[in-house]
Amino acid sequence: MSGTQKAIVRPYGDTTGDGMVQVSFTLPVSHDKRAEGAAVQLANRMGIDPAMVVHAKPMGDGFTFFVVYGRVNHLVDLNAVQVVERDFALLSAKDVNTVIKQRLRRKLSVVGACIGTDAHTVGIDAILNVKGIAGEKGLEYYRELKVTNLGAQVSVPELVEAARAEKADAVLVSQVVTQRDAHLHNTREMSAAFREAMPAGRRPLLIVGGPRFDETMTDELGVDRIFGRGTTPGEVASYLVHALITQRKAMA
């Protein structure tokens, strides 16, 4: 962070420090004066004060949609922000291959799948298939990686079995459907199954990914790493080398 940048910030509308935000939401009430008042009250409780209801539209029976503008009182302390920063070096495909070859001296085995009832494979395929994404080739393209892509709607027991059979160093799981927290339930079930099936030292590295994950939830979900929206295969390969080889050797 540059020295001149303030650590405490507010939202920016059109002037520094004005704190202006815009939110929209629906209340389950018919549109009338009281409904608009209710919207203001909610906005106030969210820290928006003064709050202006700039749009209110009745929807069907007993619902109203609001757009609210206003000044939010909350401050953001940039020093207190918690995110998962990339704590490993980004390596080229060539470097990844070299490190694995020289230091692991065998192929690194990766097993990937979409678990539960989720059938969205485009994300995991983007990471694993040669075709890749965003101009980067997927993990299959890496000579020193052995990739097994199990595809969609794989059950947790099937995944554990495949990980065992392939002697997986890492298991990569994708979860895209999030309604009713399906992605969280499935991930917990998966990590618990691995904990049950294999002793700590023998367990593969557990990685989940998908567009709606919170990357800070690794402990809660029992996994080693979470990758979110816009992940590229290069990041994943670099992380694998870091977690399974460089860091591990450094700790040993």
Partner 1 sequence: MTGKLDLDPVLVARARELARRAGQPVVDLARSHTTVSVERAVLRLAGVTGADPDGIPWVNRLVDAVVADVGLGHGVAVPVFDALTREGITDVTLLAQKAAAGSVRFAVPTGRAATAARSAARRAVAAGVRRIDRRRAERDRLIKRHGDPKQRPWIYLIVATGDIYEDIPQAQAAARAGADVIAVIRSTGQSLLDYVPEGATREGFAGTYATQENFRLMRAALDESSKELGRYVRLTNYASGLCMPEMATLAGLERLDMMLNDSMYGILFRDINPIRTFVDQRFSRQVHARAGIIINTGEDNYLTTADAVDEAHTVTVSQLLNEFFAHEAGLADWQLGLGHAFEINPEVPESFRLELAHALLARELFPDAPLKWMPPTKHMTGDVFRGNLLDGFFNLAGTLTGQGILLVGMMTEAVVTPWLSDRDIALQNVRYVLGAAGGLHEDFVPAPGGFIRRRANQVLGEALDLLERIGEQTLLTAIAEGTFGIMKRPADRGKGLAGVAAHEADYCNPATEILEAAA
Residue 91's CB is within 10 A of a number of other CB atoms, namely 20
Site string for ligand B12, 123-142 (x = CB under 6 A): xx-xx-----x---------
Closest CA to 193 of 173, 176, 179, 210: 173
DSSP state of 180: G
Catalytic one among 6, 57, 94, 131?
A: 131
Rounded Cα gap, residues 34 and 39, in angstroms? 9
Length of the chain counted residue by residue: 252
Cα–Cα dist 221/39, whole Å: 36
63-82 footprint of partner 1 as x/- string (CB under 8 A):
x-x-----------------
- Report the partner that residue 180 touches, choosing among ligand B12, partner 1, none (CB closer than 5 to 8 A by kind): partner 1
Cβ atoms of 99 and 88 within 8 Å: the answer is: no
- Binding test (CB under 6 A) with ligand B12, winner from 20, 67, 90, 177: 177
Q: Is 122 in the site for ligand B12 (CB under 6 A)?
A: yes
Closest distance of CB 226 from partner 1, Å: 18
Q: Is 135 in the site for partner 1 (CB under 8 A)?
A: no
Within 10 angstroms of residue 98's Cβ, the number of other Cβ atoms is 14
Known catalytic membership, residue 146: no
- Cα–Cα distance for residue pair 134/143, rounded to 1 Å: 20
Task: Pick the closer one to ligand B12 by CB: 100 or 111.
Answer: 111
- Per CB under 8 A, which region of 36-44, 92-100, 111-119, 199-207 contacts partner 1? 111-119
Other CB atoms within 10 Å distance of the CB of residue 157: 10
User: Residues interacting with partner 1, by CB under 8 A?
Assistant: 24-26, 57, 59-61, 63, 65, 116-119, 121-122, 151-153, 177, 179-180, 182, 211, 229
